[in-house]
Structure 1
Amino acid sequence: MAVGPEVHSAKSSADSNGEHHQRQDAPKSQSKHHASILAIGKAVPPNRFDQSTFPDFYFGVTNCSHKVELKQRMQMICDKSAIKTRYLILNEETLKQHPEFYTPGEPSMEQRHEFLEEEVPKLAAQAATNALKEWGRPKSEITHLIVVTLSGVSIPGADVRLVKLLGLRHDVQRIMLYMLGCYAGITALRIAKDLVENNPNSRVLIACSELYASTFRAPDEKYMYDVVGASIFGDGAVGVIVGTKPDPLTERSLFEIRWAGVSMAPETAHVVQGKLKIDGLNFYLDKSLPMVVGENITPFCKKVMEHAPEHLHLSYNEMFWAVHPGGPAILNKVEEQLKLDSGKLSASRSVLENYGNVSSSSVLYVLDEIRRRPAKEEWGAAVAFGPGVTLEGVLLRRNIDQTDS
C-alpha cells in the first residue's frame, strides 16, 4: 500500500463499521520523526510445562493430590485455556527449597521478594541482551532504560540491577514501572515514544520481566482465582529498543509508533485487583472482564483510528492486530466487537498457545510474532488491557520491506 504525506482534518470519517467520528487535528509542532521499534528480543526460563499435564505437577508439588475434585476443575480450565505450553522459573527443586511459597498460612512475602529481586532482572537481562544483539549497535548508545514488572518490589529496584547486569552507562536515564499489570508493555512503548521524539538521537531500552512466583500458592477451594492464575500465567521477559531517525546503514525500523494512548473504563476498578499480603501477591479477576473489554474496545479503537492518515480510509480488517492474549474469551470478544475476519488475531492466539499469559510481556511477544510473518498489512495496532480497567494502545506502521524470515 502506497503511503503519502499525512492529511490532518477536522472532518468526520467513516470507521470500519460505517460510523462517523471527528478526526483530531495534529499539533503544528508535531515531530516529523516518529518513534520506531528497532529491535525485539525474548527470553523464557528453562522449565517448559505441558498444559495438559500441568495439574499433575501443580497438585503434586503442593502436596494437594488428595483434592481430587479441585484438580478435576483445574484440568477443565487448562483444557479450555487454548494453551499448550508455558514456561515457569519455579520447578520441583526450587519449591522444595521454598515450601513457604505454597504452605497455607505461612508468611512468604520476604522470601518471595528476595527470590524475585534476583530472578526478575536476570531474565530481563537475557531478553535485553537478545534485543541489543539484534540491534547491533554499542550498548553505550542506550540513553534511557524503562523496566516493567509485576513481580516483586525492591530498593534499589530491578532497573538498577539491570544496569549492572548489562553494563549500561551509569548515567542512563531510568524509569521503573512496578505493579501496573498486563497493559504495561504498551505503557512502556508510550513513554518511550515521548522520550525519543523529544530527545534527538536518544535510544530507549525497554525490559519487561514477569514471573508467576509472586502469586504461586497451593490450591484452595475458597480462592479459585489462585487456581485460575496457576492455569494460565507463564513467565517471560522481552527487550525492545525504540528510537527515531534510524541509521539507514546500521538500524532498521520494524514498526513506527504513530500514536499512543490510554483510557480507563468507568466504574471498573473492582474487576481486576491485586494486593500485597504476607503470603505474596493476591489477585482477584472478576468473570466480567471479557464483557468489560468488549464494551470498551470499539470506542477505544475508534480513538486509535482518528490518528491514522485520513486518506487511507482504513478499516479494521485492513490492519494487523497485536492484542494482549489474556485468554480465549477476551480474544473472542475483541474479534466479535471489531468484526475482525478469522485469523486476524492468529498472532495473539499463537502466543497464548505457546507461552500462556505473560502479563506485560505478552503483547510485545505478539508484535515479535507479527514481525516474523510475511507482511500483508502496513498499518496496525497493538492493544492491551489490565487493572483499572485500563486500555492501552498504539497505532503502528510496519516497514513491510524489512520482514524477518
Structure 2
Amino acid sequence: MSYITAIGTAVPENCFSQEILSSFYMNSTNDDTFKRKIKIVAGKTGISQRYSVLQDFDESTSDFELFPKTSSVEPGLNERMMLYKKYATSLSLAAIEKIDHVTFLKPDITHIITVTCTGLFAPGLDIELIRELNLNPETQRSSVNFMGCNAAIIALKNADAICRSQPDATVLIVCTELCTIHFQKRFNDDYILSNLIFGDGAAAVIMTSQPKQNSFGKRVQVNKFNSMILHNGYRDMAWQLSETGFIMNLTSYVPGLIKENILPMLDKIGLIPSDIEHWAIHPGGKKIVDDFAAALSLDKSLLAETYKVLKDYGNMSSPTVLFVLKQVLEKAEKATAGEKLFAAAFGPGLSIETMQLQYV
C-alpha cells in the first residue's frame, strides 16, 4: 500500500493584496476599457491576497528585478528563467522544512519527484534538493514538468506506484511554482484572468509504502487514481514558450467543461459523491469551484478548505491542491477510520486528475 505521511507548504515573503496586484496591472496600460475590465475581474476572483518571490508589484518599491515601472519592454524568457533558478530551490527547501520530523525522515528517503511548470534548468531542482538536503546520492529521482495545475496528483500517482512495488520506499514529492515571474503586460481575456489569479508557492509530501507516525493523527491510505482528458477543451487551457515568457490560454469555458463532465466521470469510475466525507479540490478559480460544487450537488461548506486556499494564496498551479489537502488532513483527529477523501485538480488538455484516499 501507500500512505501520505506528511505535507509541508511554503510561500515567499512578499505578500500582496489583490487590490495592490490589480492596481499594478491597471497601471501598466492607459486604456480605460482594460482598466475597468481588470478591476471587475479582480473583484470576482474570491482572492484576497497572493504571494510572489518578486517585490516588483509594490508600487512604493524601487528594488526591481523584472518589471521596472520606467520600461515598457516585456522581460525575456532568459531573465524569467534566471529568477526561477534563483528562487525555486530556497522556496522548495522552505516547504520541506515545514514537514514534521523531517530531520528523522530524511535518512529514509529513497526517491524524489520534483514538479514544476514555471521554470526549468539543469542540473535541475531534483539534484539541487538532493545536494542541499544531503540525501543519499543514490536517491532515485524523476520530474513531472510542464503539466500544469494537476501535476501534483500525477506525481503522487507515480509515488504510489513506487511504494506499491518497493516495500521500503519513502518518496519525497516537491511541487514548486513561481507563477508571478510570468506576469505579462497583455490585456486579452485570457491574460486578464491569468494575471489576476496566479501566485507563487511550494508544497512537499512524504509518501511511504509502510504506515509510519504521521502529522495528522490518523493514517492516510492512498487507494486509487483516475484520469480523464476532455478533448473538447483542448484549446481552453494551454501555454507555450516564447521569447518574452510563457504565452497563456485560459478561457472562461473551463468551468463549464468541468461542470459538464465531472459527474459522468465519477459515475464511470463508480464513485458516489455522498460516499465521500472530505474533499480536496484544486481552486483553479472561484467559478471552477462553484461549478464543481453545483455539478455534484455539494454544499459549499464541504469545499471550505478549497475556498480558503483560493482566498489566501490564489492559484499557485501544482502545489495548490496540496495546500488544500493539508488543511483537510489537519482535521483528521475528528474523523473516524474508514472515512473517504477525494482530491481533484484540472490541467491543460483539458485534463482532470483525481485521487481517492481513506483514513485507516
TM-score normalised by structure 1 residue count: 0.81
Structure 1 counterpart of 2:303, one-letter code: L
1:356 matched to which residue of 2?
314
- Confirm or deny that 1:389 pairs with 2:327: no
Match for 1:91 among 55, 60, 65? 55
Pick aligned residue for 1:144 from 99, 111, 119 = 111
Question: Structure 2 CA distance, aligned partners of 1:201 and 1:394?
Answer: 22
The correspondence for 2:288, drawn from 309, 330, 337, is 330
Which protein has the larger Cα radius of gyration, Structure 1 or Structure 2? 1
CA deviations over 1:74-129 (Å, ceiling 9, x no partner): 11111111111111112125872334899555461111111112212221111012
**1:115 to 2:68 alignment:** no
Q: Secondary structure of 1:76's match? A: helix
**Aligned equivalents of 1:323, 1:274: Cα separation in 2:** 22
* Conservation of the 8 A alpha-carbon contact between 2:230 and 2:351: yes
Aligned partner letter, 1:195: I
User: Is the CA contact 2:239–2:246 (under 8 Å) kept in the aligned structure 1?
Assistant: yes
Work out whether residues 276 and 342 of structure 2, in 8 Å CA contact, stay in contact via their aligned partners in 1: no
The 3 A distance-change label for structure 1 pair 303 and 139 is farther
1:127 and 1:237 in contact (8 A); partners too? yes
Tell me the equivalent position of 1:75.
39
How far is the alpha carbon of 1:159 from its aligned partner?
1.2
Q: CA deviation at 1:266?
A: 2.7
Cα distance in structure 1, aligned partners of 2:298 and 2:275: 6
Q: Distance in 2 between matches of 1:388 and 1:101?
A: 35
Percent of aligned pairs with the same amino acid: 29
SS of the residue corresponding to residue 316 of structure 1 reads: helix
Aligned-residue offset at 1:216: 1.1
Q: Which amino acid aligns with 1:139?
A: K
The residue aligned with 2:94 is: 126
Determine if contact 2:54/2:181 at 8 Å carries over to the other structure. no
Per the normalisation by structure 2, the TM-score is 0.90
The 2-side partners of 1:370 and 1:266 are apart by 31
When structure 1 is superposed on structure 2, of 160-169 and 323-332 the one drifting more is: 160-169
Which one-letter code corresponds to 1:111 in the other structure?
E
The 1:100/1:108 distance shift into structure 2, 3 A limit, reads farther
Q: Measure how far apart 1:294 and its partner are.
A: 1.1
Find the aligned partners of 1:248 and 1:232 in 2 and give their Cα distance: 36
**How far apart are 1:252 and its partner, in Å?**
6.6
RMSD: 2.4
User: 5+ unaligned residues in a row in structure 1: which ranges?
Assistant: 1-33, 307-313, 400-405
- Give the length in aligned residue pairs: 353
| 1:37–1:74 CA distance, 2 compared to 1 (3 A) | same
Q: Which amino acid aligns with 2:232?
A: E
Distance 1:105 1:235, change over 3 A: same
Cα distance in structure 1, aligned partners of 2:194 and 2:215: 42
Q: Deviations over 1:143-165 (max 9, x none)?
A: 00010011111122211112122
1:347 and 2:327 matched: no
Q: 1:363–1:382: 8 Å Cα contact kept in structure 2? A: yes
Structure 2: state its 5+ residue gaps. none
- Specify whether residues 201 and 303 from structure 1 end up closer, same or farther in structure 2 by C-alpha distance, changes over 3 A only: farther
Contact kept? 1:149, 1:208, Cα under 8 Å: yes
- Whether 2:11 is the aligned partner of 1:44: answer yes
